[in-house]
Amino acid sequence: MGLGICHDCGAVEGQYHHFGCDMEECPFCGHQLLSCDCCYKLLGIDVSEGTWAYKNGLTDEQEEKFLVMCEEKGRVPWVQVPVLCALCGEIFPQMFHDDEWQKYVIPELQNEVLCYPCYEKQKRLFPNGWGNAQPHPRGR
């Protein structure tokens, strides 16, 4: 099995992403580095609405300083972790969007990935939505 290659920056598994790659993990919070607020919090930058940073982000100097902080903390090398359907385990299921996701998918699974066949099963199980499920005949 060959090594994976990042679709965004071309990093090979085991290497660091190009700093600023949208796939890089933040070494401070573990979320996507590009969208977390750790850089602002750690650099003490106000990003409230109306501030320069709110509109423009980091300066080149601030970005360099944050990169040094990430390297000191320990940047996370990239490893391709497969996305799995939470119900059947299908690897890298095709992504789709449905505006009625919350109606048919029970709350425990709403933040998970489902393959389309498992999603369709949820719709068959709960044709009127999970909030209107039928009670067990001997239950309440």
pTM: 0.65
- pLDDT at position 25, please? 95
Model pLDDT, residue 140:
59
For residue 84, the one-letter residue type is L
Q: State the Cα–Cα distance between residues 100 and 120, nearest whole angstrom.
A: 12
Both tokens of 102, joined, read 């919350």
Residue 32, beta-bridge partner list? 25
Low-confidence spans in the chain with pLDDT less than 70: 1, 139-140
pLDDT of residue 134: 84
Instruction: State the burial class of residue 66 (Cβ atoms within 10 Å of its Cβ: 0-12, 13-18, 19+).
Output: buried
pLDDT at 139: 62
Amino acid at 48: S
Torsion, Cα 93 98 100 101, to 10 degrees, reads 30
- pLDDT computed for residue 135 by the predictor: 83
Total Cβ atoms within 10 A of residue 33: 24
